[in-house]
Amino acid sequence: MLYAIEALNISKSFRLHHERHSSVKDRILHPGGGTHTDFEALRDVSFSVEEGEMVGILGRNGSGKSTLLKTICGVLQPSSGEVRLRGTLAGLLELGAGFQPDLSGRDNVYLSASLLGLSRRTVDHLFDEIVAFAELENFIDTPVKFYSSGMYVRLGFAVAVNVNPDILVIDEVLAVGDERFQAKCMDRIHQLKADGRTILLVSHNADQIRALCNRAIVLDHGVLVADGSAGDSVRIFRERLLGEAPTVTGGDAATVVAISTVTTPTGRFDARSGQAWALDVVVQSETSLTGHFVMEIRSESGALVVRTDATGSAISLIPGEQRLSVRIPAVHLLSGRYEVAVGITNERGIEVLAWRDQAAVLEVVYDGRATGLVDMQLDVTVY
């Protein structure tokens, strides 16, 4: 088995200074350098990525995701541990990383590509393709310090993906730019994945990780807490977020809600397309609250089929255990196996109080001829 990336017991610490000398006199009188503490951003993180695999990294802000990627890319050196790479690597770590602001876009393309090990002759052949992808034909000879944030990311991404690296590392930059360019980036990533490139992707969008990646790892306070299928890791990521602390305060007590079981009245989780479907959800609440019940349905491949409005189904809970009876008037899905997730949000529909991935599996039988995921009902009138 060939590994493109091996992270072996990676730890990284930073020194945080709380006081700094403001004058030469202070330095002479207090040579110790002020007070400081050591912050451990990564602690003994180990994982491997096979060649051709696409792996996502999930974690809250401050969990160590960006530090890990910078260590893999060689921007930071680990305090302990080792990173082993097999093949050429292109990293898109932050907006315009490595660009020289006083140089033109043209010069920065050649500079960035040379740092990735490409010769000038090779870049000559790729240059037009890079500029066309970035859609910067009219600005390529303008100094990049005059570029907008969208122009920055388009040029940086265009260089990274068009030099055809063996390993591509992307840190959250796909959130920048308009929807059309984001879709263009996604198409290019799918192409690189189909070509057998190794891709490491950090995103706050758990749905994006589940849809794109074969596998995902979860970091929490610098520690690797999950490494498995994208679906399992997303579930652990969400459960860990919910389990950390209460999310809503009511009066003097914190509101804690849990979804314990999900069943159907008939004991079965199958349905014929177009027919009604029902399920019972058992909820335990420590205090009274008003919130909303939400549901999402995904295909077996992880693609999101539907997610209900977070403020659509209002519920009121009292302390103790209660049963929610949920009925869907018609399920117009095509034949297949679908995973159902359920949750409860707060009254404003912003915060998730409880969530359960893979709460049920729905087997659908469809007798029609439509293709895709949903049987779209049409009402056509000739006039």
- Ramachandran category for residue 102: left, alpha or beta (phi over 0 → left; psi -120 to 50 → alpha): alpha
pTM: 0.69
Beta strand segments in the chain, E: 3-17, 36-50, 54-58, 80-85, 89-92, 167-171, 198-202, 215-220, 223-229, 248-250, 253-255, 257-263, 270-272, 277-285, 289-299, 304-307, 314-317, 320-328, 336-345, 352-365
SS3 26: helix
Query: Which residue in the block uniquely carries the two structure tokens 């890319």?
Result: 73
Q: Could you tell me how many helices (H) and strands (E) the chain has, helices first?
A: 8, 20
Give the pLDDT of residue 83.
Answer: 95
The alpha carbon torsion through 305, 311, 314, 315 (nearest 10 deg) reads 80
Residue 259: pLDDT over 90: no
Q: What is the mean pLDDT of residues 159-171?
A: 87
The pair of three-digit structure tokens given for residue 251, joined into one six-digit string: 């009066």
Residue 326 vs residue 179, higher pLDDT: 326
Residue 251: pLDDT over 90: no
235 has which bridge partners?
none
> Which helix (H) or strand (E) segment is 69 a member of?
helix 65-73
307 class by beta-carbon count within 10 Å (0-12 exposed, 13-18 middle, 19+ buried): middle
Other C-beta atoms lying within 10 Å of the C-beta of residue 349: 15
328 class by beta-carbon count within 10 Å (0-12 exposed, 13-18 middle, 19+ buried): middle
Q: Which of 74-83, 247-256, 263-272 has the lowest mean pLDDT?
A: 247-256
Confidence of residue 254 (pLDDT cuts 50, 70, 90): very low
Query: Which residue in the block uniquely carries the two structure tokens 């050196």?
Result: 77
Give the pLDDT of residue 54.
Answer: 94
The pair of three-digit structure tokens given for residue 213, joined into one six-digit string: 């990646």
Helix, strand, coil percentages, rounded to 5, for the chain: 25, 40, 35
Give the pLDDT of residue 11.
Answer: 95
Residue range 283-296, pLDDT digits in tens = 999 889 899 999 98
In 258-281, which positions are buried (b, 16+ CB within 10 angstroms) versus exposed (e)?
A: bbeebebeeeebebebeeebebeb
Pairing of strands 352-365, 336-345: antiparallel
What the chain holds in terms of domains, given with CATH numbers, is 3-236 (3.40.50.300), 250-365 (2.70.50.60)
Residue 94: pLDDT over 70: no
Give the pLDDT of residue 125.
Answer: 93
d(CA 183, CA 328): 32
Residue 319: pLDDT over 50: yes
Specify whether the CB–CB gap between 131 and 139 falls below 8 A. Answer: no
Average pLDDT, the chain: 83
Q: Based on C-alpha coordinates, what's the Rg of the chain? A: 25
Residue range 210-232, pLDDT digits in tens = 878 889 999 999 999 999 988 88
Residue range 183-217, pLDDT digits in tens = 888 888 888 888 999 999 988 777 778 878 889 99
d(CA 349, CA 275): 29
Residue 6: pLDDT over 80: yes
Confidence of residue 250 (pLDDT cuts 50, 70, 90): very low
Confidence of residue 241 (pLDDT cuts 50, 70, 90): low
- Ramachandran category for residue 199: left, alpha or beta (phi over 0 → left; psi -120 to 50 → alpha): beta
Residue 323: pLDDT over 60: yes
SS3 198: strand
d(CA 309, CA 225): 31
Confidence of residue 77 (pLDDT cuts 50, 70, 90): very high
What 8-state DSSP symbol labels residue 146?
G
Q: How far is CA 366 from the centre of its chain?
A: 33
Give the pLDDT of residue 17.
Answer: 66
Ranges 177-181, 271-275, 320-324, 373-377, most confident: 320-324
Q: Which of 13-22, 55-64, 186-195, 217-226 has the lowest mean pLDDT?
A: 13-22
Give the pLDDT of residue 102.
Answer: 92
Nearest to 358 by CA among 271, 269, 285, 273: 269
Q: Which long-range contacts (CB under 8 A, 24 or more apart) does 311-314 make?
A: 311/345, 311/348, 311/349, 314/290
Nearest to 97 by CA among 23, 184, 169, 165: 169
Q: What is the mean pLDDT of residues 20-25?
A: 62
The percentage of residues in the chain with a pLDDT greater than 90, rounded to a whole number, is 32
Give the pLDDT of residue 380.
Answer: 93
Q: What is the mean pLDDT of residues 332-359?
A: 84
Nearest to 115 by CA among 139, 133, 93, 136: 93
